[in-house]
Amino acid sequence: MYRVVLACHGVPESSGAEAAIDITKEFTDHRPWHVNVICSWDGQRLVLQADNDFDSNGLALLDEFSDCIAAYLVPFDGRITVESVGLLVEPRLHKLSP
């Protein structure tokens, strides 16, 4: 499982907070292949974090984030960057000895 973090720069200050809510809802309701999705506004940029089991370089999530930006922020003349992609290690289950 991968954790991908993206940042969208150039978002108008007046639109950021509402766009974060809308984009979180869009991913939660319509893109279930991404889990633990959180989009937040830090006052200067939108930050999207999501987990999935297929996006080892973050470009699939970036493509879908770009689609959302185009839908929720019109006009938009900014850029999206991959901030990080990390491999999540799932905890191993240990059998208890009798």
pLDDT for the residue 27: 97
pLDDT at position 46 is 96
Tokens of 21: 């809510």
Place of tokens 């279930």: 32
For the sheet containing 35-41, what is the strand order?
35-41, 45-52, 2-9, 79-87
Tokens at 25, concatenated: 């809802």
Please tell me the predicted confidence (pLDDT) of residue 77: 84
| Encoded tokens for 94 | 């240990």
Asked whether the whole model's pTM tops 0.85, one would answer yes
What does the alpha-carbon distance between residue 52 and residue 35 come to, in Å, rounded to a whole number?
6
Between residues 98 and 58, the one the model is more confident about: 58
- For 15, residues 6+ apart whose C-beta sits below 8 A from its C-beta are 72, 73
In this prediction, residue 89 carries a pLDDT of 80
pLDDT single digits (tens) 45-95 = 999 999 999 999 999 999 999 999 999 887 888 899 999 999 988 655 555
List of domains in the chain: 2-87 (3.30.70.100)
